[in-house]
Amino acid sequence: MEIKFADRMDSFKEGIFTTLANIKKERLKENKPVFDLSVGTPDFLPEKHVVDALVEAAKIPENFKYAITDKDEMLEAVQVWYKRRYNVELEKDEIMSLYGSQEGISRVALTICNVGDTVLVPNPGYPVFSIGPMLNDANIEYYELKEENGYLIDFNSIPEDVARKAKAIVVSYPANPICRLAPVSFYEELVAWAKKYNVIVLHDNAYSELVYDGKKGISFLSIEGAKDVGIEFNSLSKTYNLTGARISFALGNKKIISEFKKLRSQIDYGIFIPVQKAAVAALLGPQDSVERNRAEYERRRNALRDGLESIGWKGLVSEGTMFAWAPLPEGYTNSNDFVLELIDKAGVFCVPGSVFGSLGEGYVRVALVQDVEGMKKVVESIKNSGIIKK
């Protein structure tokens, strides 16, 4: 039997994380050093009261039935959290749960786009920002994030005809992979631009609690008029170290949320109730771990940045997220080749910037998932490898 697959599958190759995982497996077999700074999975543990809430709920057989809908107590917990954290008032019909922001971003275009509708996505940008709409047969147009613009969208650079035909725009700050923030004035400009061209804003806000140097992350929904033009995705994965539990939310424009719920009801039966209970405990419980983890990520960033600068690799930046973004050291021009050489000579794993778009070439993304002492060992291994030429 000859099996013919969808044409879209031709655009997928083995993911970089699979490639790196295979190389890591071989190095470990050979007892070679491995410092894995590639995948953004927190190495912190979830808080005990959150785990306890999940475990206790999992002891109740009734909770293993379909959830179907979001429980009121979870929606109310989100309302309390958004009011406390961002001073944003939300109605229950402006909130829906998701199995992680990635699920939401990968499916929302099914709700808002017809075949061939245009979605604007960032370059560089996290891959699902473009893959999600593409899987839903949308047309992808890239807007460029450049250093000379502070890695903010230059709305004047978006051609008039592209702006007028765009159905939606994906925006994300604090931004993965470039690790930059956006000020309130940017969001005000975004809302005005979206209203002018009738473009739906899809804002990924997964990292608002991981912002450094005394700054504070904000919500797109805190901007006047934001609910008129779009929705925001917010996740418990990185804030509360619940990556495997897969719980996040889409919030904002109630018409979009209503239609998105309708779509999701055709393909899912709701978030597992014990996970909903864990979310409530995280959102309403003690918040000291959030600041503790943020401070530790900042210390790690500082140790890595200062250490690399001391051996001649300069320019690593992270204003927010659990990552850092660094230009290739002097003498290197191809991010993929550099990453493979860095692994071979130093055992240090990171992600080539080219994975994130054409403007990511010349950079690497580093996950802040080693403690300060681990970062010092990373620097020492890179120094001893001879890969950095002073």
Domain with CATH 3.40.640.10 in the chain: 48-284
Angle ∠(224,225,227) on CA atoms, nearest 5: 115
CATH architecture of 48-284: 3-Layer(aba) Sandwich (3.40)
The pLDDT of residue 14 is 64
Cβ atoms of 362 and 336 closer than 8 Å: no
Superfamily designation of domain 7-45+288-385: Aspartate Aminotransferase, domain 1 (3.90.1150.10)
Cβ atoms of 121 and 145 closer than 8 Å: no
Helix ranges (H only) for 205-287 are 226-229, 254-265, 273-284
Using the CB atoms, write b or e for 51-89: b if 16+ within 10 Å: eebbeebbeeeebeeebeebbeebbebbbebbeebbebe
- DSSP code per residue over 281-342: HHHHS--HHHHHHHHHHHHHHHHHHHHHHHTT----B-SBSSEEEEEPPTT---HHHHHHHH
pLDDT in tens, the chain (390 residues): 999 888 888 777 667 778 888 999 999 999 999 999 998 889 999 999 999 999 999 999 999 999 999 999 999 999 999 999 999 999 999 999 999 999 999 999 999 999 999 999 999 999 999 999 998 889 999 999 999 999 999 999 999 999 999 999 999 999 999 999 999 999 999 999 999 999 999 999 999 999 999 999 999 999 999 999 999 999 999 999 999 999 999 999 999 999 999 999 999 999 999 999 999 999 999 999 999 999 999 999 999 999 999 999 999 999 999 999 999 999 999 999 999 999 999 999 999 999 999 999 999 999 999 999 999 999 999 999 999 986
The pLDDT of residue 12 is 72
The pLDDT of residue 219 is 98
Alpha-carbon torsion (354, 358, 359, 361), positive or negative: positive
Domain with CATH 3.90.1150.10 in the chain: 7-45+288-385
The pLDDT of residue 112 is 95
Farthest CA pair distance, the chain? 64
Look at strands 95-98 and 139-144 and give their pairing: unpaired
Cβ atoms of 319 and 179 closer than 8 Å: yes
Give 207's DSSP letter. T
Separation CA 178–CA 357 (nearest Å): 11
The pLDDT of residue 6 is 85
Separation CA 211–CA 58 (nearest Å): 34
Residues sharing a CB contact under 8 Å with residue 76, sequence separation 6 or more, in sequence order: 92
The pLDDT of residue 22 is 92
Tally of CB atoms within 10 A around 251: 26
The pLDDT of residue 72 is 98
Give 138's DSSP letter. P
Give 206's DSSP letter. T
The residue whose two tokens read 């939606």 is 168
The pLDDT of residue 13 is 65
